[in-house]
Chain A
Amino acid sequence: MKRNLYSLIIVLFTFAGTLQAQPGYQGRKWSVQGNLMFLPALTNASYGREPGLTTFNITGEATVDYVLSRRTSVGLSYRRIRTSNINDYGVSGVSKTKVFSNAYGIHYRIYKRKNGNIAPLGKYFQWGAGAMFNQVKKPEKSSKPVDFKTYSFRMGAGRNRILYDRLILSYGWEFGYMFTGLKRDGLVGATYYYKDDAQTMAQYRLWRHSLLNLKVGLGFLAY
């Protein structure tokens, strides 16, 4: 799977590099961007805080995009997720299972056909896929961290503005669906087959974390 993903990336970028038929913004086709993805965490804890109106699920993202044509671009992304599950509210404090994830993804954007819009400027619709390398750390010091891998599908929309001919200001939203790999046993009701309790909770946590996010970002046109 990983090999296939790399192959796809190499093919896409080689194709894009040889095509060279796209204007970009003032001829600049590469852009690098940092995004902050967030949504209020009302029912779950974030990495450092308990649920509440001022608690946010936050994901940091870095992307590299390349303009393929007047209306399309492809990009690679890296995300770092940090969150937690509350196990217990003890006397000595809250007991949390910490969840980490490094997600690598690829996305494809189609920019809206509108006068004045030429990629990477304007409104876009995007979809993509990612591989998530996750880790769960239980509060007990003795327990070993559990590593596991999941895949996700993402789609979203947004808008890019260019400031001072160099900076990109971007905002939008994203819907993500993470394939958890959890199975139902099919006997009575909907009980789950537990590989590991903490991992299952983490998978659910990540699934819900990815489901819907708002996004703001700042980047620059590289070349």
Chain B
Amino acid sequence: MKRRYFRAFPLLWLLAGSPLFAQDFNDYKPLESSGRIPDDFIQLSSEKYEQDKSTIARHEKSFDKRAKRQFYLENSFRLRELLHSGKILFNDPVGVYVNQVADRVLAHDPALRKQIRNYVVKSPSVNAFATNSGMVFINLGLIAQLETESQLAFILSHEFTHYLKKHVVNQYVEDQKIDAGRNVYRSLSGDEKLLSRNNYSKELETEADLHGLEIFLKSDYSTRKLKGVFDVMQFDYLPFDDVPFEKSFLESQNLQLPPSYFLEKVKSISPPKDEDESKSTHPSIEKRRGYILDKISSQTETHKKDYLVSEEAFLKARKAARYDLSSIYLANLQYEKAFYNSYLLLREMPGNQYLQKIVAKSLYGLTKYANEDDFNKVHTDYQDIEGCSQQVYHLFEKLKPKELNAVALKYIWNLKKKYPGDQELNVLSDDLLKSLVNKHCESKLDFSTKAFSEIRQASLPADTASANKLNKYAKIDQSLANERLSWEDHFVKYIFVDNFGEKDFTESFDKYLSEKEKANQKRQETKRQKRVRIRMEKKEKAKAQRIHRKKGYALGIDKIVMVNPWYAKIDQRKKKPVNYMASESAELALNNQIMKNAERAKLEVDLLGDHSFTSTDVQKFNDYVFLKNWFRERAEHLEAEVPMENLEAEQVQALVARYGTKYYCWSGLVDVREKKRGAGLVLFYTAIVYPLLPFGVYYAVTPDYNTYYYSLVFDITTGKPVFTDIQYIDRKNNRDILNSTVYNTFYQLKKKR
């Protein structure tokens, strides 16, 4: 048995490591989960709560028991929310590597290793955290910044201690005691309570550092690079590298960016400041560095290493994390960060299509927001930025919307020529050209078909002798003309000189220009024409309203996919208003009702909900988390009223092919109970007219019920909503009301005009 195990081991090791090695950075695909879905993701929160609750010892004080029960309740539901947020990965290449490192760290303690589950988080922040149940989460933002495997091992050791010492639940119970003013916390002021909370948290962090170091020292990892961990924490606000931004990155023969758009000197990175520890939940980084270095200074290391899995595996995991950060920033609408992150990576692989497309999409996003006067929603003030990346923020701040539109179009158009079959680039370039014409172009004369150098040459006198022959006023005219030609002010005019020689560019440009002219002509119509048009429009509107009243939207859709229909039950009268247990069971019931109503409405519905996965449904799970994030991103664009094209067209097409529909529904319900207003007054009056008293009592003791329901159906190929139903129902959400509302949604989707 033993021999077979050892024979199999190298093969298993290779297989376990294989997903990481399989990643092709030239054709990079963002990280996603694979394999079997872990039980952590499938287990119901209510089950988890019951399981955790059973661990509370009988002999504990009743206050502690109560606090722990509340903690387990909140924690199990919030944890599930986090696991299903789309940010947590499992069995992904980076996660596999992190688990391999955890194996090395806990080689001496297999029992503890069995209890720990490591997951990678798709988040750019430099952070890691552990839960009470043994889940350890490492952000990609942290992995992207690390220098060695041993640093990752130390961070894991720190998090393992949080789990081992039950820090999360202890912190919660202590916080409850502080809030309630129990024991030593009696009669503390608000500030003192905050201070006490922070002090306790710092104690736990110090314990995690020191005990984590003990775990780390038991492993074969070297302590040589541990100092660097604190540098990573110190400068976590900076990108993973600090490299000057070259203006030539965006420039080409006919696109020269004005030097005034670039800072002569970027703001240098500020040295570490003395932190005010009292306001922090962690000890200061200097202090932590101090006591850790103290402890390890006496260590003698002979056989210890910086890499136990392998340096290559670490570098690949870090590279994957850095590549993934670009798409994470993009999804978070942090376009400048995505741009600079991709710029840094492109220096190593200049022709990388994935990175170039991230740059293109970042430019597209910035342009669209700038065109709608919402630039500041996606822009960070360059003065808040330190280091070389400041140049990028400064450049985008200086570029006027028209210039940004032109620069973005130029970059994307050239990329489209490089990758002619790329549908996403086609859509983006087309949309940017349309925006440029509609928003910033009055006529074709706005853009030159001749290069700046040619025009300047033509405007100058042939030689010095003929220049001298000009009179005073001709010389002034000449000078002014040259001034007007200054490319710093008009560099945009010459950007598309070479593109106007291309048939498809000129055709598209002319098409959008003529559409714009037609629209302008409409505005210049006579009074009579206007009257006729308005009358026709009114008639059409009335007809549409009539049909809408009778049939609703009547979209004639045969199939939709419901993504994450959720249900929250809230009781505002209580201190902890969210009723987690009731919410979960209501959500399960809602899923059933959705399917029943779909059947009644003869609408085919696929449910991608929180509770619709088994352990083998990893594809479904990936689709679910992708769509959740996609909806969130679209909602932000909708809220900002920025008409963005779909930036994930390839994944969207795959979804359409997989589910056989392009209609995806996002819906939710919130059931709120509130205290009735004026209940006392009603009681008083009904007591006077005493036969009515029973009614008054009933009024006073029953809450006010309100239900909020929304349902949005998107055509995911265009990214636009085709159906919107947002309702406020001032009643208790009984089963009949819910069914009626859901059926009504399905009916309108299914019904043909």
Interface residue ranges, A against B (CB under 8 Å): 21, 23, 25-27, 69-70, 114-118, 121, 161-163, 165
Contact = CB atoms under 8 A, between A and B. Distances in A.
Nearest to A160: B736
9 contacts: A21-B751, A25-B736, A26-B743, A116-B707, A116-B727, A116-B737, A118-B740, A165-B735, A165-B739
Contact of B551 (A21, A114, A115, A165): A21
Contacts, number: 55
Contact of A25 (B550, B551, B739): B739
Nearest to B748: A23
Interface of A is mostly: loop
Nearest to B602: A27
Contact of B743 (A23, A114, A117, A161): A23
Contacts of B741: 115-116
Contact of B550 (A27, A69, A162, A163): A69
Interface string B111-153: 0000000000000000000000000000000000000000000
Contacts of B439: none
B736 A27 contact: no
A23 B596 CA distance: 15
B551 A116 contact: no
Interface string B712-753: 000000000000000111110011110111011001000100
Given A115-B728, A161-B734, A162-B736, A23 B744 contact: yes
Given A115-B729, A116-B707, A116-B731, A23 B736 contact: no
Nearest to A117: B740
Contact of B601 (A27, A115, A121): A27
A115 B740 CA distance: 10
A26 B602 CA distance: 10
B728 to A, nearest CB: 6
B600 interface: yes
A25 B740 contact: yes
Nearest to A69: B550
Interface of B is mostly: helix
B390 interface: no
Nearest to A164: B735
A27 B747 CA distance: 8
A121 B743 contact: no
A21 B727 CA distance: 22
Given A21-B550, A27-B600, A115-B729, 18 more contacts: A21-B551, A23-B744, A23-B747, A25-B739, A25-B743, A26-B596, A26-B597, A26-B740, A27-B743, A114-B729, A116-B731, A118-B740, A121-B736, A121-B737, A121-B740, A161-B736, A162-B736, A165-B735
Interface residues of B, number: 25
3 A-B pairs with the lowest CB-CB distances in the bound complex, closest first: A162-B736, A116-B729, A115-B727
A101 B658 CA distance: 65
B736 A163 contact: yes
B707 A26 contact: no
Contacts of B596: 26, 165
B711 to A, nearest CB: 12
Nearest to B707: A116
A61 to B, nearest CB: 22
A161 B734 CA distance: 9
A115 B669 CA distance: 14
A117 B739 CA distance: 11
Contacts of A25: 736, 739-740, 743
A26 B727 contact: no
B748 to A, nearest CB: 8
Contact of A26 (B550, B730, B739): B739
Contacts of A117: 740
A114 B727 CA distance: 10
B601 A118 contact: no
Contacts of B597: 26
B455 to A, nearest CB: 64
A121 B747 CA distance: 16
Nearest to A165: B739
A118 B738 CA distance: 11
B553 to A, nearest CB: 12
Interface in B596-615: 596-597, 600-601
Contacts of B736: 25, 121, 161-163, 165
Listed residue (A115, A117, A121) with the most chain B CB atoms within 10 angstroms of its CB: A115
Nearest to B593: A165
B731 A26 contact: no
Contacts of A161: 734, 736
A163 B735 CA distance: 8
Contacts of B740: 25-26, 116-118, 121, 162
A157 to B, nearest CB: 17
A177 B601 CA distance: 41
Contacts of A114: 729
Contacts of B549: 70
Interface in B294-345: none
Contacts of B734: 161
A165 B738 CA distance: 11
A121 B740 CA distance: 8
A49 B743 CA distance: 48
Contacts of B737: 116, 121
B111 to A, nearest CB: 52
